[in-house]
Amino acid sequence: MAPTPKRRMHAAERRQAIVDAAVRLFAERGFRGTTTRDIAASVGVTEPVLYQHFRTKGDLYRAILEAKARQGSEQTIAALEQHSHTSDDRAFFTRLATLILEQHAEDPTFMRLLFYSALEGSEFSEYFFRDYVQCLQKLVTAYISRRAGARAFRKIDSTLACRAFVGMGVQHCMAELIFHRKKVRMSRARIAATLADLFLHGISVSRNGKP
């Protein structure tokens, strides 16, 4: 019996297959450690076919970073918007922690791509910072500043406070995804709530008005 001929991919399918292969390879080897030949071979196409969709390896890398940063930013900000104008500090920071934990758990390549782009000194790391980090930081620092103005939080640099909280969530994810440390035996919801409680305990003003 003759083998069934392999179905020819449509252009959109082939482009997505190239992107998927590139994400995996860039996350494993970085931009410099990945060649267009590697990507093409992983998809089962030739390099000229790859160049029909992306003019250069840099164009492909940029498209991936921009898409991931945009997606992460849009999802996070949209999910936080409903809490950003309230005074429910625990709900706001628990939700933020949950979003950080979910994003890295559901897309572990995100963190690896971010680290590689920064460590390689790539100009492309600016896309991550501009399209993801700055957008998120703007929303969180605005919330902290507003609550400090209402004297719910003690006086503190809002950017530093934002970095401290986000850093707790990212470090937890990094310990498991990058360093493969033993997983904390808690549900994601409980981890998020614990991180929020730890942060708020340090930043909130007590009932007698003292930190």
Using a 10 angstrom Cβ sphere, with 0-12 exposed, 13-18 middle and 19 or more buried, the burial of residue 107 is middle
pLDDT at residue 39, as a whole number? 96
- Structural domain spans, the chain: 1-55, 66-203
Q: Cα 119–132–23 angle (5° rounding)?
A: 55
* Distant-in-sequence, close-in-space partners of 70: CB < 8 Å, separation ≥ 6: 131, 132
Per-10-residue mean pLDDT of the chain, 211 residues long, equals 57 92 94 95 94 94 83 82 92 96 89 85 74 86 96 95 95 91 92 96 70 48
pLDDT at residue 206, as a whole number? 67
Please state, in angstroms and rounded to a whole number, the distance separating the CA atoms of residues 19 and 10: 14
pLDDT at residue 7, as a whole number? 55
Q: Cα 44–61–52 angle (5° rounding)?
A: 50
The domain 1-55 having CATH identifier 2.60.120.20: the answer here is no
pLDDT at residue 209, as a whole number? 45
Residue carrying structure tokens 């986000």: 166
pTM (two decimals):
0.83
pLDDT at residue 208, as a whole number? 42
Whether 42 contacts 4, CB under 8 Å? no
CATH architecture of 66-203: Orthogonal Bundle (1.10)
